[in-house]
């Protein structure tokens, strides 16, 4: 009789040990998942913090593109109003490595201009329109 009760207690202890082992594995896996998520979010935040400088350079590059368009229009229109047009290839020269691309549609005075500044992995766009029909 004593042997049977020992086996029952041993089986109960084995079940408890299995349950505890499963619980430890589940908790370990959940802690690993949380750690991985926190690490990923931290890396993304650090990347975004590094891209702030590139974002600033890209927005200034796009602004330089718009300024170049205005300058080209005002100089061309002031010197020769009959041929007031935007030059076909504009690309501001920037010393910080940022680039700007300019695209324009329409004819003066109804222009739609879009400039795209690029620095590092960041692109920023600015646009303006002299066309009242464009929203």
For residues 127 and 113, what is the distance between their CA atoms, to the nearest angstrom? 5
Does residue 9 carry a pLDDT above 60?
Answer: no
Does residue 21 carry a pLDDT above 50?
Answer: yes
Per-residue pLDDT at 135? 59
What pTM does this model have? 0.60
SS in 3 state form for the chain?
CHHHHHHHHHHHHHHHHHHHHHHHHHHHHHHHHHHHHHHHHHHHHHHHHHHHHHHHHHHHHHHHHHHHHHHHHHHHHHHCHHHCCCCCCCCCCCCCCCEEEEEEEEECCEEEEEEEEEECCEEEEEEEECCCCCC
Does residue 26 carry a pLDDT above 90?
Answer: yes
Domain ranges in the chain? 2-129
Per-residue pLDDT at 36? 96
For residues 88-114, give the mean pLDDT.
78
Per-residue pLDDT at 28? 95
Per-residue pLDDT at 14? 66
Chain mean position to CA 95: 23
Does residue 39 carry a pLDDT above 90?
Answer: yes
pLDDT band at 12 (very low <50, low <70, confident <90, very high): low
Q: What contacts 72, CB < 8 A, 6 or more positions away?
A: 86, 87, 90
């Amino acid at each position: 009789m004593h042997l049977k009760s020992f086996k029952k207690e041993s089986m109960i202890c084995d079940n408890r040990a299995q349950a505890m082992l499963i619980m430890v594995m589940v908790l370990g896996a959940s802690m690993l998942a949380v750690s991985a998520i926190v690490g990923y979010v931290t890396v993304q935040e650090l990347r975004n913090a590094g891209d702030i400088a590139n974002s600033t350079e890209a927005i200034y590059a796009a602004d330089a593109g718009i300024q170049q368009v205005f300058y080209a229009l005002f100089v061309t229109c002031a010197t020769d109003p009959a041929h007031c047009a935007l030059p076909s290839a504009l690309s501001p020269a920037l010393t910080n490595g940022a680039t700007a691309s300019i695209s324009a549609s329409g004819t003066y005075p109804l222009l739609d201009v879009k400039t795209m500044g690029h620095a590092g992995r960041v692109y920023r766009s600015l646009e303006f329109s002299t066309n009242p029909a464009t929203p």
